[in-house]
Amino acid sequence: MVQSSCRSPMFLLLLQLAALVSPLLAQEQAHEFEDASLEPLPPADDECRAGAAEGGRPACALSALQRRGQKILGDPLVRAADGEEGKSEEADDEEELSLAEESAEESLQAHRRRRRHSRRRRSKPIVKGISYGPMPCKDGNCEALMDDFMCEAAKPMWGPRGRADLNTMSLMGANTVRLYGNSPAADHSSFLDEAHAQKLKVVVGMSDYPYTQMKDNCMRNGYDCYELVKAVYTMNLLKGFVVDEAVTPDKSYHPALSTVIV
């Protein structure tokens, strides 16, 4: 029954009509898929018609549909590989971005540390000091009547008309001079003025005379040194540590005086 129906005149007529119409359909499909770069179905040939005549789907049409589907959807293996590669590239991009952000943050932190360090260095200048005690001795057995080298009697050593020790210190790059002897009865105004002219800061120490040497030193008074130290320090203020009222009415410390060690 199947063979007789396939060979009927009506069926053969339909096949002839399909052979005439299929080229037109193929051209229309080619225009339709041209923009999408898709391959149109091929026109029906003798093998396709023979396959259709036997009641099955033509293999040529099936392969064309498969190729078209692959172009639209892509090969499954290729799609999977592309997906994995895309994920890998995204992960690499995210990792590079993260590393770049970390590097930028580290650079910013390092820059901030350098700026803080630079500000601290500017706000706290480095002390380059020289301890000054020019005892006129060639050996360690000599004795001096006093060790206060800020007084007028020692001016030939540090003054500009003498040896000019303070000027020599300044030329050597020092910015501070440290002294030890300090007689409260001696005037220190000239020494502080010369140090200021040479751009030197002065660090002085209070004499140990009220602590250990004077008759009623604080060692004999239960180590109560307040009154003795106050009296000696007041004499230092009057002997040059405070600028004269004619220069500064507010009685400020001498600009060269940096530190007093009690």
- pLDDT of 70 reads 52
In a domain, 108, yes or no: no
Mean model confidence pLDDT for the chain: 75
In a domain, 91, yes or no: no
Taking only the tens place, the pLDDT of each residue in 196-249 is: 999 999 999 988 888 888 888 888 888 888 888 898 999 999 999 998 765 556
- pLDDT of 203 reads 96
- Distance CA(147)–CA(176), nearest Å, equals 19
In a domain, 8, yes or no: no
- pLDDT of 114 reads 83
Total number of domains constituting the chain: 1
Neighbours of 146 (CB within 10 A): 14
- Distance CA(129)–CA(117), nearest Å, equals 22
Model-level pTM? 0.53
Cβ-count burial 103-128 (b if 16+ within 10 Å, e if not)? eeeeeeeeeeeeeeeeeeeeeeeeee
Q: Which residue ranges in the chain fall short of pLDDT 70?
A: 1-14, 16-93, 120-123, 245-250
In a domain, 85, yes or no: no
In a domain, 70, yes or no: no
Which residues span the domain enclosing 179? 147-261
In a domain, 182, yes or no: yes
